Amino acid sequence: MDYRDTPEEAEFRATLREWLSATIPAGWDKIEDELEAVRLRKDWHRTLYRAGYVGMSWPVEYGGRGLSPVYDAILNEESGNLGAPPLPSVGYIGRAIFMYASEEQKRRFLPPLLSGEASWCQGFSEPEAGSDLASLRTAARLDGDHYVVNGQKMWTSGGQYADWCLLLARTDPDVPKHKGISAFLVSMTEPGVTVRPIVIASGEAETAEVFWDDVRIPVEQRLGAPGEGWRIAMTTVAYERGPADIGFIANYRRTLRKVEGLAAERGLLEKEEVRKALARAYVRGEVLRLNCMEQLSMRVSGRAPGPEGSIAKLLWADAEQSLQHLAMDILGADEMTGVAAGWLSSYFTSRPVSVYGGSAQIQKNIIARMLDMPR
């Protein structure tokens, strides 16, 4: 792949850069109130969509622009370069709906997802079914033209703010566990849905546990065929493992600039070990960016995300956690004493990245199978 912009891409990049410079909300990264931060991210999602920058690689009939995924990569890069708010993560759940939904479901659910009118969460993990997702026990029983769902989900990121949920539930307990799971598109306002935010080590309630008590879901809101839930789940996490689909490159570049600023403020830029650490952080980011570009190139050629997404996932976790660790090294005791507040929270937030879309051990097992290594 030629990583240089074509003339059309270069023109798009220049226009985007000018738009971002004029539109990024001033002081957005100084907001400390969680609800206000959530509101800003939703407003930014809608602003991007109205300007045509969300869903650029999606089909026009579902709210996209039908462009190459390379344009999404350019948006990632320039958003990071110019310090924009986080990009909306519409890719992984949206792609699952796009691949498995009926035409009616696509036209109902995809446009509001892309526009930011409806936000989604992912109801996969359970108290005893995290990495071993196939062991989930939340059950959906068919009752006439509805399914009745009972169970509990854990670590549902953004569940307390979501309008809809992509839910996995067991619909057939009498077949092998991977084959008895179905997927559903469920409103979070249905009677019987109870959301309890979970405050994690960072002090923020960015995830939640969700209880499902006799929740009735119309049959027409099942995604895919009965028993196809495992396949849908694997498609979803394959996209979730791709940093290009969730806007991570932009976030990483923005954070790296902040860490460089911390070193400059403390007069540490001339220290050899600090310069080497910053250089390694930059290289990690570039390796990840080029890996993403390679995967986008394969997607442009018509190939769906596969096991190679596990490589990007491992690179992503390593880059993010190493960068946050470097920030702690630079700050020293200032973070613990409150002189440089906020970074400890970011450090703690980076630790669970290892388990997003499956733990590091799962990713390594996938890569080992891809390489045909002995078990």
Task: List, in sequence order, the alpha helices (H) in 161-308.
Answer: 229-240, 248-265, 272-300
Rounded Cα distance between 253 and 233, Å, is: 30
Are the C-beta atoms of residues 76 and 48 closer than 8 Å to each other? Answer: no
Rounded Cα distance between 241 and 362, Å, is: 12
Rounded Cα distance between 126 and 145, Å, is: 26
Rounded Cα distance between 231 and 133, Å, is: 12
The strand pairing partners of 210, in sequence order, are 153, 195
In order, the DSSP letters of 112-179 are: HHHHTSS-EEEE--BTTBSSSGGG---EEEEETTEEEEEEEE---TTTTT-SEEEEEEES-TTS-GGG
Rounded Cα distance between 287 and 300, Å, is: 20
Active site residue 240: yes
Query: From the CB of residue 318, how many other CB atoms can be counted at a distance below 10 Å?
Result: 16
Query: From the CB of residue 361, how many other CB atoms can be counted at a distance below 10 Å?
Result: 11
Tokens of 62: 């579902």
The residues, any chain, with a CB within 8 Å of residue 192's CB and separated by 6 or more, are 149, 212, 213, 214, 215, 216
The residues, any chain, with a CB within 8 Å of residue 272's CB and separated by 6 or more, are none
How many angstroms from the chain centroid is the CA of residue 76?
13
Phi, psi of 173 (to 5 degrees): -80, -5
Q: Which of 240, 308, 320, 335 is catalytic?
A: 240
Rounded Cα distance between 253 and 76, Å, is: 10
Q: Which residues are catalytic?
A: 240
